[in-house]
């Protein structure tokens, strides 16, 4: 069994549906066509008075339930800002953000996040960082005390798969940057969120580990079909993982290309060197070069 399959398998016993205000619909509940994530005419301004800077300008973006969208664009164009808007960490100055039809007014609970800079809590060990969502997200937080060993096992299994088992009891400052990022991704995924937000989560990793994590993410997505938004500068990564790649202009971010990736899954690393794949990467690259000019 490959590393990625083991990773995906480690989630098999826990698919308990509801996890907060924006949880997956219960089985039997009517399915609607409403997008899982819906940004309508969203603008975001940083700063005040004459220091104001428009980071996002009237952006419309929808992500369907179970869809994997990658967002690419020049540095500083507003990608991380977009992620903070979707997760409710920032409120838009114009327009509105809806998650599963509900307008966001604050941090969205049912989201797994792994951002550019690892946000591990320095006073917690790696293991206890990875277990953090169990303390916060329903239904786990009610079950945690009674089923602590089961949850701990699950977190350790995940750490083992990404090569961090020996570091479970170390603190973040005792880990390398790449190890911190891996733990960060583990924490984003451990509670099987219906929406996964990844902001350059593999950026600090070497090429081989990064590709292993692509496979791992793909396997997991194929099993769980969560909705996902991935920000990356790596176009191979974007095309490998996504159903659709969205290209943003330079600041203020606007969508200048949406490219559907209709390549069959599971995608292989070999396929990233094949013609159909490279053709899509080239098209996106050309659009970004245009945007940077
Ligand atoms: N908290 C903040 N206060 C003021 N300006 C900010 C803040 N965060 C980001 N910005 C500015 O908003 C713009 C967009 O930033 P953002 O971090 O969203 O870009 P990005 O597309 O994620 O870039 P990168 O690819 O380099 O990560 C940048 O010009 C940045 O300087
Ligand atoms: Mg960023």
pLDDT at residue 9, as a whole number? 47
166-191: per-residue pLDDT in tens?
A: 999 999 999 987 788 889 888 998 88
The answer to whether residue 2 is domain-embedded is: no
Total-model pTM = 0.84
Ligand 1 pocket residue status of 81, Cβ below 6 Å? yes
Please identify, by atom number, the ligand 1 atom nearest to the C-alpha of residue 81. Answer: 18
One domain, residues 176 and 249: no
Of 177, 193, 209, which marks where a domain is finished? 193
89-121: per-residue pLDDT in tens?
A: 999 999 999 999 999 999 988 789 887 677 899
Instruction: Kindly report the CATH number assigned to the domain that includes residue 292.
Output: 3.40.50.300
pLDDT at residue 1, as a whole number? 54
**Is the model's pLDDT at 197 over the cut of 60?**
yes
The answer to whether residue 1 is domain-embedded is: no
pLDDT at residue 25, as a whole number? 46
Cα–Cα distance for residue pair 4/24, rounded to 1 Å: 24
One domain, residues 126 and 223: no
Q: Residue 255 burial by CB count (10 A; 0-12/13-18/19+): exposed, middle or buried?
A: middle
One domain, residues 208 and 103: yes
SS3 145: coil
The answer to whether residue 4 is domain-embedded is: no
Nearest CA residue ID for atom 29, ligand 1: 76
Measured in Å, residue 233 CA sits from the centre of ligand 2 at 9
Ligand 1 pocket residue status of 74, Cβ below 6 Å? no
The answer to whether residue 20 is domain-embedded is: no
One domain, residues 68 and 207: yes
Query: If you average pLDDT over every residue of the chain, what do you get?
Result: 87
One domain, residues 183 and 225: no
The answer to whether residue 17 is domain-embedded is: no
Q: Where are the beta strands (DSSP E) in the chain?
A: 37-46, 53-63, 68-72, 94-99, 102-103, 111-114, 195-199, 227-231, 244-248, 255-260
Measured in Å, residue 263 CA sits from the centre of ligand 1 at 32
Which domain does 167 fall in, by range? 122-193
Ligand 1 pocket residue status of 63, Cβ below 6 Å? no
Of 193, 215, 246, which marks where a domain is finished? 193
Nearest CA residue ID for atom 5, ligand 1: 46
One domain, residues 104 and 245: yes
């Amino acid at each position: 069994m490959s590393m990625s399959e083991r990773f995906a398998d480690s989630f098999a016993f826990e698919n308990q549906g509801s996890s907060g205000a924006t949880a997956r619909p219960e089985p039997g509940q009517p399915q609607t066509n409403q997008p899982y994530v819906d940004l309508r005419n969203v603008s975001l301004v940083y700063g005040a008075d004459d220091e104001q800077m428009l980071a996002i300008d009237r952006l419309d973006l929808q992500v369907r339930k179970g869809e994997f969208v990658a967002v690419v664009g020049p540095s500083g164009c507003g990608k991380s800002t977009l992620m903070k808007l979707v997760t409710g960490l920032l409120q838009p100055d114009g327009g509105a953000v809806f998650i599963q039809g509900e307008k966001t007014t604050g941090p969205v609970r049912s989201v797994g996040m792994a951002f550019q800079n690892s946000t591990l809590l320095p006073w917690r060990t790696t293991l206890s960082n990875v277990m953090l969502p169990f303390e916060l997200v329903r239904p786990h937080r009610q079950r945690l005390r009674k089923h602590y060993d089961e949850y701990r096992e699950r977190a350790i299994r995940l750490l083992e798969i990404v090569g961090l088992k020996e570091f479970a009891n170390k603190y973040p400052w005792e880990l390398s940057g790449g190890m911190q990022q891996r733990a960060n991704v583990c924490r984003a995924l451990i509670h099987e969120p219906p929406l996964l937000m990844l902001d350059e989560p593999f950026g600090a990793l070497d090429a081989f580990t990064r590709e292993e994590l692509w496979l791992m993410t793909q396997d997991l997505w194929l099993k769980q079909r969560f909705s996902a938004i991935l920000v990356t500068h790596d176009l191979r990564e974007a095309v490998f993982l996504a159903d659709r790649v969205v290209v943003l202009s330079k600041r203020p971010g606007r969508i200048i290309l949406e490219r559907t990736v209709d390549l069959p899954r599971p995608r292989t690393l070999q396929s990233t060197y094949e013609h159909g794949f490279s053709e899509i990467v080239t098209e996106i690259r050309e659009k970004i070069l245009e945007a940077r000019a």
